[in-house]
Amino acid sequence: MNNGLSLRTQINIRIAIISLIILIAGGGIAVWQARISVKTELDSSLYLAAQLIQLNFPGVGKQGEVDVDAWLPRFVSLDQTRHLSIQLKRAIGNAVNFSAKTSVSRETAPPRWFVWLISAQSPIVEQHLTNADGEAVSLIIQANPIDEISEAWQESRAFFATLVLMTVIIFLAINLLFNKTIKTITLIVEGLKAIEQGNYQFKLPDFSTQEYDSIAKAINHTADVLDASYKENKALALHTLQIQEEERQHLAKELHDELGQSLTAIKVMATTTKSGKADTGAIADTIISVCDHLINVVRSMMRNLHPLVLTELGLKASLEDLLNHWSQRYPGLSLKLDCPDIVDKLEQKITIQVFRIVQECLTNIVRHSQATEAAIHLELIAGNRLKLEIADNGLGCTLTEIKNGFGLLGIRERITSLGGELTIQAAHKQGMTIKATIALGEPINVPFPLRGLG
């Protein structure tokens, strides 16, 4: 028993693996881009702060005109310096920290692992200035990336949420598609099972998907072909049983009318010879005449049951004898046979079937075609194929009549049983040509060139 995973499960697993890879790769790219963005923003803020300080305090180490204590709070309040932490260090050693108020709350604060991944080492800028009152001070400027990291965290969360949402949507879409696909496949499998059980009337509906609809149409066509073949085989089987019964009735009638009466007459004459007044010579002549008649009757019956000449002399002689028999019974029909001697080397199963096919064709010609000429042609092609062609100049028939004829149907079955191909060419009042090609089990070696190679 096969315990493998279903197609739906296999594809869902693959989608999950691919989605996980995309999430990991996308997360790595997002973290890397956020890290670069944060570092660029912080470096830009540090550079801008240094430029502003140089503009306000152009003479480093000289007494300035700007009061650092008054200027620094205004400087820190600028939006461009919101990512900076500035420390004012006086010469006496005390230091005062100045930094913009952060907008990050406990709820919006990024997790520590994200801060650790995003944080990059930023330089510390130290500026030595002289206050307006001549006091030497130092400004130590250091990056404070929490706001920028918080923004990157919010953007990353939105990115990951979108990616997860897209993955869920893809899962749902694929599963909805699979539900429809599995229903279709289940219906197709049910149709195949119905055909397997012989229910050829089962028909698959039309599907909206082109591929499934093509499969359904192919299965329905196959069911129609099988149904037609089943009906033909059934009709042929019934017809065969009817023919067998008719042959048995005919055989019983022949035995009763010919053999029974003749044997009774012989018995009466044998009894008469016991009397002294009987004419023994006349009775003997009569018995001889009756026996000759019985011999002819038995031979005729044996020919109908199985031609002994086929076993004793081969296919060619049997066909010649068959054509002579039909020519004697129907002198208005001209029969021609073109058959090489090599056909006598064919297998017994092929020989009897070819003989029966020719016999059935001649029967159809006599009964239905009203032909005046008929030709039988046999040819061995390349030593491994037998070509049989039977043509007449009779009334012909239509395609419907060909399909409905039990004789032609029996011929087709015989050819099919030998693994051959049958072609019938017929038209109204234009005669009929039956062509059959039979593949031989083993090539037959011939001592002379074959007449045909195509």
pLDDT 10s digits, 38-81 = 777 777 777 777 776 766 665 544 545 556 666 666 666 665 56
Q: Which long-range contacts (CB under 8 A, 24 or more apart) does 273-282 make?
A: none
pLDDT, mean of residues 242-263: 74
Are both 158 and 249 inside the same structural domain?
no
Helix (H) or strand (E) holding 391: strand 385-392
Residue 270: alpha-carbon gap to chain centroid: 79
Q: What's the whole-number average pLDDT of the chain?
A: 77
The model's confidence at residue 451, banded by pLDDT at 50, 70 and 90, is very low
Of 250, 276, 305, which residue sits at a domain end? Answer: 305
Are both 249 and 169 inside the same structural domain?
no
Are both 319 and 297 inside the same structural domain?
no
Question: Do the domain assignments include residue 1?
Answer: no
The DSSP string of 203-233 is: -PPP-SSHHHHHHHHHHHHHHHHHHHHHHHH
Closest CA to 365 of 340, 389, 345, 335: 335
Of 261, 288, 305, which residue sits at a domain end? Answer: 305
The model's confidence at residue 104, banded by pLDDT at 50, 70 and 90, is low
Residue type, 361: C
pTM of the model: 0.48
Are both 207 and 289 inside the same structural domain?
yes
The model's confidence at residue 389, banded by pLDDT at 50, 70 and 90, is very high
Q: Which of 89-93, 195-199, 405-409 has the highest mean pLDDT?
A: 195-199
Q: What's the domain range around 313?
A: 307-454
Instruction: Find out whether 214 and 241 touch, Cβ atoms under 8 Å.
Output: no
Which tokens is 452 given?
């045909």
Are both 330 and 211 inside the same structural domain?
no
Are both 145 and 245 inside the same structural domain?
no
Structure confidence at residue 388 (pLDDT): 92
Helix (H) or strand (E) holding 44: helix 7-56
pLDDT, mean of residues 355-365: 87
Are both 120 and 106 inside the same structural domain?
yes
Of 259, 287, 305, which residue sits at a domain end? Answer: 305
Structure confidence at residue 1 (pLDDT): 46
Give me the residue label for tokens 């055909």. Answer: 195
Structure confidence at residue 179 (pLDDT): 82
Structure confidence at residue 448 (pLDDT): 46
Are both 280 and 317 inside the same structural domain?
no
Structure confidence at residue 72 (pLDDT): 64
Helix axes 7-56, 68-76, angle to 10 degrees: 160
pLDDT, mean of residues 237-256: 73
User: What's the total number of domains in the chain?
Assistant: 3
Cα(73)–Cα(87) distance, integer angstroms: 11
Cα(193)–Cα(219) distance, integer angstroms: 11
Question: Do the domain assignments include residue 340?
Answer: yes
Structure confidence at residue 413 (pLDDT): 81
